[in-house]
Structure 1
Amino acid sequence: MRRIGWKGGAILAAVALVLAVLAGTFAFGSATIDKETSFIIPQGSTLTSVAGKLENEGLVSSGRGFLLRAKLLGGSRPIQAGEFLLTPGMGQGEILSAFQSGDVIRRFITIPEGIPSILVWERLMAEEKLTGEIPVPVEGSVLPDTYDFESGEERTAVLARMQAAMQNYLAEAWPKRAPGIAVDNVRDAVILASIVEKETGTPSERRMVAGLYSNRVKKGMFLQADPTIIYPITKGKPLGRRIRKSEIAAINDYNTYSMAGLPKGPITNPGRESIAAVLDPAKTDALYMVADGSGGHEFNADYAAHQRAVDKWYALRRERGEM
C-alpha cells in the first residue's frame, strides 16, 4: 500500500480541519429571519462588524458562524454600505450575496412642481433617513421631480442631484427655444417660468399664461402677478389670507405691481412644463386674465373686455359666498 507523503498528509489534515470546523459551526449557524426586515450597513463597516450586527439584531444565530462561512465560501467581493431588505427563507449565503451586490433599498422623495425652496429644505430636513445639514437652496435651482435615495445618505448629495437635474434640463431645453421669446438668458427664463408656475394650476393653460406674460415683458408693462407680492412676505409659503392694499403697493425687488419687468429672482422652483411654456409660449395678443371660477382663466387683449370679465366672475364668486 502506497504511503501518503507529509505534504499530502498536511493537505488532508487541513481539509479535515476545515470540514470539522464547518460541520461544528454550521450545525448551529443559520439565518433566523421570520419577517421582512430592513438591515442597514453603515459606511466603513467591516465584515466582522456586520456579522456581529446580524447576530445582535437576531437575523443569524451566530455572528461567528456567518463570518466564517463568508470568509471560506463567500468569494472576494466586498460588502456594500446601504439599507437592505432581508426576507424570510433567505440563507446566510443569500444574505451575504445581497450585501456584496449592493442591492440596496431605494427610497423616494418627491418635489412637486411649484414648491418654493424653503419647503424643499423643510421636506429634506424632515426625512429622517437622510443625514447632515443643508442650507435653503437657491430659489429656482431645484427641478421638481421624484428622486431616490439610500437610508443614511447625506442631504447634500440628494440636493446636489436635484440641482444637477435642473441644470441638465435647462442645458437641453434652452437651445430648443422658439425664436423671438421674451427672455434672452436662462436665468430670466427660470424667473418667468416661476411666475407661470404659480399663476396657473391648469397644465393646458401654461403656454397661454406664458404668452400673456411674454407680451407684457416685451411691452415693458407691469406684470401684476399676485405671487410676486406674496414671495417677499412668506418666501413662497401660502399667505393664508387675502393680500392687503399696502402689500400691493409695497416697493421691493419682487413686487411686479410696483415695478415693470421681471422680479430679481425666481419665486418658486418651476417644473419642466412651465419652463417649456416660457421657451415656446402660445402666440396670443392677450395681456389680461382673470380666474374663471373653474380653476382656469379667461384671457383678453384689451382692458375693457378684461374688466367685463372681472365683473362677471367676481359676481359669480359673490353668489358662491367666496367673497
Structure 2
Amino acid sequence: MWRNIASSAISFLVVMVFLLGGVILWGQNTYNAEGPGDAPICLRIESGASMRTISQQLADEGVITSPMIFRMGADYSGKSGDRKAGSWLIPEHATMSEITHLITRGGASTCGTEVVYRIGVTSSEVQVRELDIEAGRYVEKAAFDPAEEEAPEAFTEVRAQNDTRYRVAIAEGTTSWQIVEALKTIDVLEGELAELPAEGTLAPDSYEVRKGDTRASVIERMREAQEILVASAWASRADGLPLKDAQEMLVLASIIEKETGVPDERRQVASVFENRLKRGMRLQTDPTVIYGLTEGKGVLGRGLRASELREATPWNTYVIEGLPPTPIANPGKASIEAAVNPAQTDYVFFVADGSGGHAFATTLEEHNANVAKWRRIEAEQAEGAAPAE
C-alpha cells in the first residue's frame, strides 16, 4: 500500500512540476511576446510611483495584457527597483521586456514636453515643445524672447514638471560672447564661467542639458565637439589649399559662415576666398570689418560706413593681407567642410543677387555688372517700401 501511495505522490509531484514549468514557460513567452498596443504612447511615471501603479497604467493604456506578469518579469530580471520617473515613449507592439528596459534604463525623458533655449546670431528665444506621437515630431506650444517678453504660463507650467526635458540650441555663426551671455540667462544651469572661450572653438549644435548642469560643463561639451569636427575635417582636406593649419581653416570657415546662409553656396564662397588667397588678393569681406568693430560683442545693427572700411583693425580684410588673426564667429560643420573642400572655380568676386544668394564672377567687368544689377534691385526695393512707410 505504501508503495502505491509513494508512487501516486511521485506521479503527482511530476505532474505539478510539469504544470509549473508550463506556467513559467507561458509567463516567459507572454513577457517577451509582441504587445497589444497598436500605437505608440507617452508613459509618464511620477516620482516614487510603484511598479504596481506603473503596471496598471500600462494595462489601462492597452499596451500590456497582464500587470502581474509584467511585475513578475521585472522582478525576475532584477529591474523592479530601477524604475525611473519621467516620460517614456513606448513604441507600438512593444514587449513587456522592452517596456521594462525603457522605463528603467535612465537618461533623459524620451517624450513629453521639452524647453529649448535657442541662441541665435541676432536674438535668443525660449521655445516650449511637445512631442506629437502620431506625427513623430515636436510641436511648438509657446515661444518668447526672454530679453523682451514675460514668460508665458505654458513655460511656467512645464518648468514645474519633473519630466520636462531641456535643450540648448546654438545657431551657426554665433560668437563666443553671445553664447556665454545667453548661457548666463538660462536658469536651469548653474555656476560661473571663468573666461570667454576662444572664438570659433564652440560647435553650433543642439545640446541636451539637465537641471543643475554647470555652464562650464556645457561649454566644455561644445568645445570637445568642435575639436573633433575640426580634426576630422582637416584630416580629410583637399590638396593644394592655401591654408597652413587647422586654425587657418577655422578662421576661413567662420568667414564663409558669416557671408552666406544659403547651404548650396558655401563651397562656392569658399572657392572665392581661397582663389583670392592663392593670388595674393585681399579678402575684402564686410563681416570681418564688423567683427573688428564689435569683437563679437553684440550686433552692429547698421550698415558699414566708408570710413570703417578703411579703418585699420586686425580683422579688417580691406586693409590687412590674408586671413585675420582669429575666427569671427563659431562656424558649423557645413562651413568647416566647405573650407577644406571648396568648389573648383575661377571665381574671385561675388555680390548679393536679390534672391538671398549671390552672383559670382571671374572678372572685374562681370562683377561690376553684377553690382550694378544689385544696385537696381536695391533701388526698386526701396521704392516699393516707401509708400508702406
Q: What TM-score, normalized to structure 1?
A: 0.69
Contact 1:84 1:98 in 2 (8 A): no
Cα drift, residue 136 of structure 1: 2.4
**TM-aligned CA distance change 1:231 to 1:85, over 3 Å:** same
Partner residue in 2 for 1:160: 220
Q: For residues 248 and 238 of structure 1, what CA distance do their matches in structure 2 show?
A: 17
User: Which 5+ residue runs of structure 2 have no aligned equivalent?
Assistant: 1-43, 49-74, 89-100, 110-164
Partner residue in 2 for 1:175: 235
Contact 1:84 1:103 in 2 (8 A): no
Q: For residues 157 and 38 of structure 1, what CA distance do their matches in structure 2 show?
A: 28
Contact 2:79 2:104 in 1 (8 A): no
**TM-aligned CA distance change 1:158 to 1:77, over 3 Å:** farther
Q: 1:132 aligned to 2:194?
A: no
Contact 1:84 1:104 in 2 (8 A): no
Q: 1:220 aligned to 2:280?
A: yes
Partner residue in 1 for 2:86: 85
1:270 pairs with one of 306, 331, 338 = 331
**TM-aligned CA distance change 1:84 to 1:118, over 3 Å:** farther
Partner residue in 1 for 2:263: 203
Higher relative contact order (CA 8 A, sep 6+): 1
Select the structure that is richer in strand: 2
- What RMSD, in angstroms, separates the aligned Cα atoms of the two structures? 2.9
Cα drift, residue 78 of structure 1: 10
Contact 1:196 1:209 in 2 (8 A): yes
**TM-aligned CA distance change 1:136 to 1:78, over 3 Å:** farther
| Partner SS state of residue 321, structure 1 | helix
Which letter maps to 1:321?
A
Partner residue in 1 for 2:182: 123
Cα drift, residue 218 of structure 1: 1.2
Cα drift, residue 170 of structure 1: 1.4
How many residues were matched structurally?
Answer: 246
Cα drift, residue 244 of structure 1: 1.0
**TM-aligned CA distance change 1:38 to 1:266, over 3 Å:** farther
| Residues 80-135 of structure 1 deviation map (CA, whole Å, 9 limit, x = unaligned) | 9xx95389xxxxxxxxx999854445521111111111111122112110100113
Contact 2:202 2:226 in 1 (8 A): yes
Q: For residues 261 and 187 of structure 1, what CA distance do their matches in structure 2 show?
A: 14
Partner residue in 1 for 2:375: 314
Which letter maps to 1:289?
F
User: Which 5+ residue runs of structure 1 have no aligned equivalent?
Assistant: 1-35, 40-49, 51-72, 88-96
Which letter maps to 1:149?
V
Partner residue in 1 for 2:253: 193
**TM-aligned CA distance change 1:86 to 1:262, over 3 Å:** closer
Q: 1:280 aligned to 2:280?
A: no
Q: For residues 276 and 234 of structure 1, what CA distance do their matches in structure 2 show?
A: 27
Which letter maps to 1:272?
K
Q: For residues 209 and 190 of structure 1, what CA distance do their matches in structure 2 show?
A: 15
**TM-aligned CA distance change 1:137 to 1:79, over 3 Å:** farther
Alignment map for 1:92-111 (pairs within 5 Å): 102-105=106-109, 106-111=165-170
| Residues 138-163 of structure 1 deviation map (CA, whole Å, 9 limit, x = unaligned) | 10000111011111011111110110
Alignment map for 1:37-116 (pairs within 5 Å): 84-85=85-86, 102-105=106-109, 106-116=165-175
Partner residue in 1 for 2:130: none
Cα drift, residue 238 of structure 1: 2.4
Q: Which moved more, 1:193-202 or 1:100-109?
A: 100-109
